[in-house]
């Protein structure tokens, strides 16, 4: 590198790895015992924390959780066969362990100790739609910033067990931590945010997910806004400017004493979209503004909703003190997650078909977004495998029936509807709609994933097809994805 380049202010300002006195191992026996109030039996160090013996890797601490139907102590032997270094237990075992009175309480104590010992900037993410993808994008952006190690909750570990587990896994030298928080009922986010204590609290959007338990979108907004109550002093709330519930979210953030960054397309947005130009792969070239700052970056993920998600990511990275340029590079390189937008080329007669895997989750807002994405995906034929949307309660029949319009607008050639909740949509699609929305769309209504596979095989996928698979996780459409993804090529 030339002397002139070495003197360049941007290079001189680039963050370097800072020496740390934090332990290199995740936990040792004494640290676990101190954090949990337990007694250590044996000297050991662990490099991970796991609660499922099947997922244990060499060096992990296995936490033997005890629930109503399952007792993790039954799987101690399996955990150590898989390489566990120690266990957290409520009874003595013939392996290195820390003995506590209640392993669930001890896991929360270990999580609290992990949160207390780090100097990391912590980002908490919730929302009705997109929280896992946004969480992953924020993590990738902060990791790319080069300011030090970043940590995040994996998969969708966002509940009363997953959040403490994710915190307990956070290494002491972490500079950033990104944690997802989910809920089914009011009050759940409040308990989770007490564990996480974020510096930045993100709400992706408000939509009728879990409306069965909460009754209205306003109640959903209030439940999501509980995340602000856990903000550290001087923290930032990142909220969707274009949401009809913006005022409600903003007022909740103000009551919590938060600084507010709104993201979106309208005038109320602080991180505001200026322009988005679609590219051939389905992504977009985005130009956004944050006050006097202008940012231009590419979004690899396809769909209009990912343009909005990217604004949310940029706002969160800015609030956490990350590098916006690095965030732009991260967004340009991200691929879809399994079950949440992953795209797979599968071998079929006549070439390859594109399989879009959205099998993990579904609600009315995300269904509309992904159907619109399918409608803009170049393809010879478009096929939609749509599973039931759960937790809609009395609203379920109307929300399912209302999918008829986005299905028609997506120019779908064949639809497979899975689950009894899809009956209202099947009735709508079975009507003579030629006068309004063109020729009726051929479809099959199936009870389960096995029947859906058979319906697709009878239809006959061919080269050039694009196939969207989307539904609530409990419908089991991951089986459809796995069946055809085995032909990946």
Task: Give pLDDT tens digits for 56-74.
Answer: 999 999 999 998 888 999 9
- The pLDDT of residue 369: 87
135 vs 204: CA distance, rounded Å: 10
Burial of 255 (0-12, 13-18, 19+ CB in 10 A): exposed
- The pLDDT of residue 147: 61
234 vs 198: CA distance, rounded Å: 11
- The pLDDT of residue 349: 93
CA angle 138, 474, 135 (to 5 degrees): 5
Residue with tokens 């993804």: 485
pTM to 2 decimal places:
0.81
Q: Give the CATH class of 118-333.
A: alpha beta
pLDDT tens figures, 196-212: 999 999 999 998 876 77
Topology classification of domain 342-485: 3.90.190
CB 365 within 8 A of CB 395: no
Q: What residue ranges of the chain are covered by domains with CATH 3.90.190.20?
A: 342-485
Token output for 471: 């539904």
Residue spans of the chain under pLDDT 50: 1-2, 5, 8, 10-12, 14-15, 18-20, 433-436
- The pLDDT of residue 67: 84
Q: What residue ranges of the chain are covered by domains with CATH 3.40.1390.10?
A: 27-103
Closest CA to 357 of 261, 248, 469: 469
358 vs 479: CA distance, rounded Å: 12
Do the bridges between strand 86-89 and strand 443-446 make them parallel or antiparallel, or are there none, so unpaired?
unpaired
Q: What residue ranges of the chain are covered by domains with CATH 3.40.1190.10?
A: 118-333
- The pLDDT of residue 18: 47
Annotate 345-384 with DSSP letters as a single string: EEEETTEEEEEEEETT---HHHHHHHHHHHHTS--SEEEE
CATH architecture of the domain covering 27-103: 3-Layer(aba) Sandwich (3.40)
Question: How many CA atoms, within 13 angstroms, populate the side-chain half-sphere of residue 384?
Answer: 30
- The pLDDT of residue 465: 94
Residue with tokens 């269904």: 367
- The pLDDT of residue 5: 44
């Amino acid at each position: 590198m030339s002397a002139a380049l070495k003197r360049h202010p941007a290079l001189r300002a680039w963050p370097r790895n800072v020496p740390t006195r934090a332990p290199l191992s995740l936990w040792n026996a004494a640290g676990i015992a101190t954090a949990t109030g337990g007694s250590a039996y044996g000297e050991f160090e662990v490099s991970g924390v796991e609660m499922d013996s099947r997922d244990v890797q060499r060096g992990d601490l296995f936490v033997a959780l005890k629930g109503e139907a399952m007792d993790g102590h039954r799987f101690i032997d399996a955990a150590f066969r898989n390489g566990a270094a120690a266990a957290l237990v409520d009874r003595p075992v013939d392996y290195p362990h820390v003995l506590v009175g209640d392993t669930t309480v001890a896991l929360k104590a270990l999580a609290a100790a992990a949160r207390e010992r780090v100097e990391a900037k912590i980002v908490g993410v919730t929302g009705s739609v997109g929280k896992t993808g946004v969480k992953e994008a924020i993590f990738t952006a902060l990791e790319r910033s080069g300011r030090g190690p970043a940590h995040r909750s994996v998969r969708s570990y966002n509940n009363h067990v997953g959040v403490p587990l994710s915190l307990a896994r956070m290494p002491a030298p972490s500079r950033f931590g990104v944690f997802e928080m989910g809920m089914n009922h009011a009050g759940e986010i409040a308990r989770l945010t007490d564990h996480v204590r974020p510096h930045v609290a993100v709400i992706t959007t408000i939509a009728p997910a879990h409306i069965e338990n909460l009754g209205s979108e306003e109640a959903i907004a209030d439940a999501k806004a509980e995340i602000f109550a856990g903000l550290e002093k001087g923290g930032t709330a990142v909220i969707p400017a274009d949401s009809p519930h913006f005022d409600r979210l903003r007022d909740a953030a103000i009551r919590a004493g938060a600084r507010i960054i709104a993201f979106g397309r309208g005038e109320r947005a602080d991180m505001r979209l200026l322009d988005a130009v679609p590219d051939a792969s389905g992504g977009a070239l985005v130009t956004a503004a944050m006050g006097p700052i202008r940012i231009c970056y590419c979004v690899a993920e396809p769909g209009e909703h990912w343009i909005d998600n990217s604004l949310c990511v940029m706002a969160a990275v800015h609030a956490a003190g990350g590098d916006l340029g690095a965030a732009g590079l991260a967004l340009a390189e991200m691929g879809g997650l399994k079950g949440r937008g992953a795209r797979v080329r599968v071998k079929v007669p006549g070439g390859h078909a594109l399989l879009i895997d959205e099998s993990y989750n579904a609600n009315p807002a995300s269904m509309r977004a992904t159907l619109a994405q399918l409608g803009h995906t170049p393809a010879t034929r478009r096929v939609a495998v749509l599973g039931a949307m759960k937790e809609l309660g009395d609203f379920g029949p109307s929300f399912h029936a209302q999918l008829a319009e986005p299905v028609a607008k997506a120019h779908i050639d064949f639809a497979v509807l899975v689950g009894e909740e899809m009956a209202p949509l099947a009735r709508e699609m079975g009507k003579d709609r030629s006068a309004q929305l063109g020729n009726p769309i051929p479809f099959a209504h199936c009870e389960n994933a096995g029947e859906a596979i058979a319906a697709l095989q009878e239809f006959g996928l061919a080269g050039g097809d694009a196939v969207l698979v989307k539904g609530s996780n409990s419908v089991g459409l991951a089986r459809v994805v796995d069946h055809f993804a085995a032909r990946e090529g």
